[in-house]
Amino acid sequence: MQKSEIAIAGDTSGVEFRLPVVKFPGADASAPKTYMQAALHAEELPGVAALHFLIPMLEAAEKRGDILGSITIVPKANPVGASQYVNGANEGRFDLGSRTNFNRDYPLLSGDERDSLLDGVEELLAAEQLKHHLLHMASGADLMLDLHCDDESQLYAYLHEVWWPEATDLAESIGLEAVLLSDGKSSAFEDAVTHAWQHGPLGNRKAWHEGRISLTMEFRGLADVDPVLGRMDAEGLYAFLQRRGVLKGEPIRKESFEGVVAGLDYVQMVDAPVTGMVLFEREYGEVVEKGDHLATIVTTPGDAAGDVKVTAPAEGTIVTRITRRFVRRTDNLMKIASRELSQAKRKKGGGLED
Ligand SMILES: [Zn+2]
């Protein structure tokens, strides 16, 4: 195991961020190269817990000679966001200096542009330096897993539709409960890696997606951080790497995948019609029918006339739910994976959310 740090100059004098990188070189240069990172949105920690338990497993595997493909891990991918506090609360999703999401607005690389991605990087603002370093590492891999989490949620993944159903091995290894398929057209990290592959050199491949995968894992909800889940998720990641020939051995975990698979255009975004206190009637993971009562938003406590009922716009499975109970008009309350096309419009960055 090799440990290193990437230095990122802060935007003011005397400030420097350090990005830890863990690398296992691997014994077989022809085996797939893996890149994994967690907490790109700094406060999303279930992936950090999984990597915390995975790294010692990989150290043991290395001693046994079981690591074939190189594995690069960035266990805490966003020291800039982790340092941002506003009125006592961490703000790890948006860079305060540029108002951009740490998981949007990545450079979309073509040809051999990856080779020069780090040229003059120190002249950029800190958040941009971070994005360039992460994208440079990830786009050089064959398997890229970006570990996030949702508010309250099932265990699900976003990935380009070209990799389904091949990625059933991922779903079976990790125990995914849902898969959301995208068209790769956002500027999120996962799609920026896909774009670099799509528009970059093919190498020995017949097609850009052959032997590759780039995905965003949503490891359940913000509060789903504990040793039991962390160990289980580490085993899931380990099993996936075994199935892809990065690690030797029979997969240590395999579950049948029976979850919902939906394209992004089939994800019903249930947004709050008014501001108030939300009383949920349904849990995530539940299957609902069109018109089912999902929640009530109380606008005038004590006066039922002010209650606003929120119903399901279509049938489907509730994949996520907002954590907060005080909601603002337009806030997303739930995502429902459905068989019906959604009327929800994509956000500016091409994703379901800003
Ligand atoms: Zn995230």
Task: Report the pLDDT averaged over residues 314-341.
Answer: 96
Q: Is residue 346 part of a domain?
A: no
Q: How far is the CA of 40 from the centre of ligand 1 (A)?
A: 6
CA distance linking residue 233 with residue 47, whole number of Å: 8
Q: What is the 8-class DSSP label of residue 151?
A: S
Q: Which residue has the higher pLDDT, 186 or 223?
A: 223
* 3-61: pLDDT as tens digits: 999 999 999 999 999 999 999 999 999 999 999 999 999 999 999 999 999 999 999 99
165: preceding bond cis by omega (within 30 degrees): yes
Instruction: Work out the percent of the chain whose per-residue pLDDT is above 70.
Output: 100
Judgement on whether residues 177 and 309 belong to the same structural domain of the protein: no
Q: How far is the CA of 78 from the centre of ligand 1 (A)?
A: 11
Q: What is the pLDDT of residue 23?
A: 98
Q: Is residue 351 part of a domain?
A: no
Q: How far is the CA of 36 from the centre of ligand 1 (A)?
A: 14
Q: How far is the CA of 136 from the centre of ligand 1 (A)?
A: 19
Model confidence at 77, pLDDT cuts 50, 70, 90, reads very high
Q: Is residue 111 part of a domain?
A: yes
* 286-304: pLDDT as tens digits: 999 999 999 999 999 999 9
Q: What is the pLDDT of residue 346?
A: 77
Q: How far is the CA of 43 from the centre of ligand 1 (A)?
A: 9
Task: Report the pLDDT averaged over residues 60-66.
Answer: 98
Residue listed under structure tokens 């907490």? 39
Contact present, 188 and 104 (Cβ < 8 Å): yes
Q: Is residue 348 part of a domain?
A: no
Q: How far is the CA of 253 from the centre of ligand 1 (A)?
A: 25
Q: How far is the CA of 118 from the centre of ligand 1 (A)?
A: 24
Model confidence at 165, pLDDT cuts 50, 70, 90, reads very high
Judgement on whether residues 316 and 198 belong to the same structural domain of the protein: no
Judgement on whether residues 121 and 15 belong to the same structural domain of the protein: yes
Q: How far is the CA of 149 from the centre of ligand 1 (A)?
A: 6
Judgement on whether residues 171 and 237 belong to the same structural domain of the protein: yes
114: CATH: 3.40.630.10
Burial 71-90 (b: 16+ CB within 10 A, else e): bbbbbbbbbbbbbbeeeeee
Q: How far is the CA of 74 from the centre of ligand 1 (A)?
A: 15
293: CATH: 2.40.50.100
Judgement on whether residues 226 and 303 belong to the same structural domain of the protein: no
Model confidence at 352, pLDDT cuts 50, 70, 90, reads confident
Contacts for 82 with CB less than 8 Å, ≥ 6 apart: 39, 42, 43, 76, 90, 92
Q: How far is the CA of 128 from the centre of ligand 1 (A)?
A: 17
Q: Is residue 344 part of a domain?
A: no
Residues spanned by the domain of 285: 265-337
Judgement on whether residues 165 and 245 belong to the same structural domain of the protein: yes
Judgement on whether residues 192 and 324 belong to the same structural domain of the protein: no
Cα–Cα distances in angstroms (integers) from residue 173 to residues 48, 74, 191, 242, 255, in the given order: 18, 21, 23, 9, 6
Cα-based torsion angle of the residue sequence 227, 228, 229, 234 in order, rounded to the nearest 10 degrees:
80
Q: What is the pLDDT of residue 300?
A: 98
- Is residue 341 over pLDDT 90? no
Q: How far is the CA of 225 from the centre of ligand 1 (A)?
A: 15
Distance, CA of 353 to chain centre: 13
Q: What is the pLDDT of residue 347?
A: 79
Residue 34: is it exposed, middle or buried by C-beta count within 10 angstroms (0-12/13-18/19+)? buried
| Residues near ligand 1 ion, CB 5 Å cutoff | 41, 44, 148
Judgement on whether residues 132 and 160 belong to the same structural domain of the protein: yes
- Is residue 344 over pLDDT 90? no
Q: What is the pLDDT of residue 338?
A: 93
Structure tokens at 5: 């740090």
Q: How far is the CA of 9 from the centre of ligand 1 (A)?
A: 24
Judgement on whether residues 114 and 242 belong to the same structural domain of the protein: yes
Residue where a domain terminates, one of 192, 227, 258: 258
Q: Is residue 343 part of a domain?
A: no
Q: How far is the CA of 205 from the centre of ligand 1 (A)?
A: 31
Judgement on whether residues 41 and 87 belong to the same structural domain of the protein: yes
* pLDDT, mean over the chain: 96
* Strand (E) or helix (H) holding 277: strand 276-280
Contacts for 170 with CB less than 8 Å, ≥ 6 apart: 157, 176, 213, 215, 240
Q: Is residue 94 part of a domain?
A: yes
Q: Is residue 78 part of a domain?
A: yes
Judgement on whether residues 303 and 157 belong to the same structural domain of the protein: no
Q: What is the 8-class DSSP label of residue 246?
A: S
Q: How far is the CA of 250 from the centre of ligand 1 (A)?
A: 31
Q: How far is the CA of 203 from the centre of ligand 1 (A)?
A: 31
Judgement on whether residues 271 and 232 belong to the same structural domain of the protein: no
- Is residue 349 over pLDDT 80? no
Q: Tell me how many domains the chain contains.
A: 2
- Is residue 350 over pLDDT 80? no
Task: Report the pLDDT averaged over residues 217-243.
Answer: 98
Q: How far is the CA of 41 from the centre of ligand 1 (A)?
A: 5
Phi and psi of 352, rounded to 5°? -75, -25
- Is residue 112 over pLDDT 80? yes
